[in-house]
């Protein structure tokens, strides 16, 4: 049905988007790749104009052997893993609850989704000051109220605190997607199983969970991609201290704070490779669902 004429028109219409995204991807990526093989310390007089020294894979080797590398991998894994587990389990529970008939369902849903719409800097700052502050924070008041010593959340329990903040932000996302999946569940199948004598746990494990499996995978993959690059939450709360320096934050510090661009760029390439591994799985699911 498409004529030669409409084909070339279509190509012309797609051109701006394709060219812009191609440029957005290739130009900075090439530069990062280039810097990662160079000694580039702008604060010590290195500049593009004077030419940069080629150092081979030295930056890549130094990035993974530096004393902050493994702690940052650990912090990243704990935060991403912790948030995934919490949002998924609570998300399934919440979606299940919200799917039941109740009074004021619309309002409850809005209350649950609200944290997702708060900007990351607001969420982080509100939790840090109003809730986790060891003197005036809400938790400190509660702890003192029951006669306990207030906890210095962001220094004594820095990783759990960050997991709490980020989970609060992402729980609505997981809930909303799982709820969408719940609503497409075949109720008749459930009723048939019930009549055949399947109890609630059996129905959940053998009918509900398999139906949710794709939604769960999508939640895990999309959240992993976004969680690997959380930044504002750490920037506002701990600035990477108390063992909360994630891979993303470490690279940020190398590049902008200590201005070791070569080293930071090598870290950036690692981060890009890591994100791409997750993205490949996600793209496969999205691609399967796309009948273009």
Partner 1 sequence: MARAVTARQKTINSIAAWAVGLLIFFPILWIIVMSFKTEGDAIKAPLEVLTAPWTLENYGVVQERSDYSRHFVNSVILAFGSTLLGLLIAVPAAWAMAFVPSKRTKDILLWMLSTKMLPAVGVLYPIYLLFIQLGLLDSRAGLVVVLMLINLPIIVWMLYTYFKEIPGEILEAARMDGATLHEEILYVLTPMAIPGMASTVLLNVILAWNEAFWTLNLTAAKAAPLTAFIASYSSPEGLFYAKLSAASTMAIAPILIMGWFSQKQLVRGLTFGAVK
Q: Which of residues 233-272 bind partner 1 (CB under 8 A)?
A: 235-237, 248, 251-252, 255-256, 261, 264-265, 268-269, 271-272
Nearer to partner 1 by Cβ, of 82 and 237: the residue is 237
Assess contact for 68 and 253: CB atoms under 8 A.
no
User: Coil, strand, or helix at residue 260?
Assistant: coil
Binding residues for partner 1 restricted to 6-65, rule: CB under 8 A: 6-7, 9-11, 13-14, 16-18, 20-21, 24-25, 27-29, 31-32, 35, 48
Minimum distance from residue 283 beta carbon to partner 1 (Å): 5
* H helices, E strands: number in the chain: 14, 2
| 4 binds partner 1 per the rule CB under 8 A | no
In terms of phi and psi (left: phi > 0; alpha: psi -120 to 50; beta: otherwise), the region of 243 is left
User: Using the rule CB under 8 A, is 118 a contact of partner 1?
Assistant: yes
Instruction: Work out which of 45, 51, 145, 147 binds partner 1, going by CB under 8 A.
Output: 145
Query: Considering the complex, what minimum distance in angstroms separates the CB of residue 156 from partner 1?
Result: 19
Instruction: State both tokens at 175.
Output: 């809930």
Are residues 12 and 249 in contact, defined by beta-carbon separation less than 8 angstroms? no
Question: Measured between alpha carbons, how far is 88 from 95 in angstroms, rounded to an integer?
Answer: 10
Q: Assess contact for 235 and 220: CB atoms under 8 A.
A: no
CA distances from 29 to 81, 158, 248, 253, 273 (A): 28, 33, 16, 19, 12
Q: How far is the CB of 142 from partner 1 (least distance, A)?
A: 7
Site for partner 1 in 66-95 (CB under 8 A): 94
Residue placing its CB nearer to partner 1 in the complex, 71 or 115: 115
161 forms part of the interface with partner 1 (CB under 8 A) = no
Structure tokens at 48: 């593009």
Q: Which of 54, 56, 103, 195 binds partner 1 (CB under 8 A)?
A: 103
Site for partner 1 in 216-235 (CB under 8 A): 218, 222, 225, 228-229, 231-232, 235
């Amino acid at each position: 049905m498409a004529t030669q004429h409409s084909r070339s028109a279509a190509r012309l219409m797609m051109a701006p988007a394709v060219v812009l995204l191609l440029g957005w991807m290739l130009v900075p990526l090439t530069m990062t790749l280039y810097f990662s093989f160079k000694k580039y310390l702008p604060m010590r007089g290195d500049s593009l104009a004077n030419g940069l020294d080629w150092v081979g894979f030295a930056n890549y080797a130094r990035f993974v052997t530096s004393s902050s590398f493994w702690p940052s991998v650990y912090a990243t894994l704990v935060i991403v893993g912790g948030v995934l587990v919490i949002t998924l389990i609570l998300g399934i529970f919440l979606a299940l609850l919200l799917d039941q008939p109740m009074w004021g369902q619309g309002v409850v849903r809005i209350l649950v989704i609200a944290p997702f719409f708060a900007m990351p800097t607001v969420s982080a700052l509100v939790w840090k000051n109003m809730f986790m502050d060891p003197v005036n924070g809400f938790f400190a008041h509660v702890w003192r109220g029951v006669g306990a010593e207030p906890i210095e959340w962001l220094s004594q329990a820095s990783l759990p605190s960050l997991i709490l903040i980020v989970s609060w932000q992402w729980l609505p996302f997981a809930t909303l997607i799982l709820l969408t999946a719940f609503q497409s569940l075949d109720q008749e199948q459930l009723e048939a199983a019930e009549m055949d004598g399947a109890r609630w746990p059996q129905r959940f494990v053998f009918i509900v969970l398999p139906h949710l499996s794709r939604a769960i995978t999508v939640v895990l993959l999309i959240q992993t991609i976004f969680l690997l690059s959380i930044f504002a939450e750490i920037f506002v709360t701990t600035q990477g201290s108390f063992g909360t320096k994630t891979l993303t934050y470490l690279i940020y510090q190398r590049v902008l704070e200590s201005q070791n661009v070569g080293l930071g760029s090598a870290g950036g390439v690692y981060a890009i490779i890591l994100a791409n591994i997750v993205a490949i799985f996600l793209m496969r699911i999205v691609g399967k669902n796309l009948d273009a």
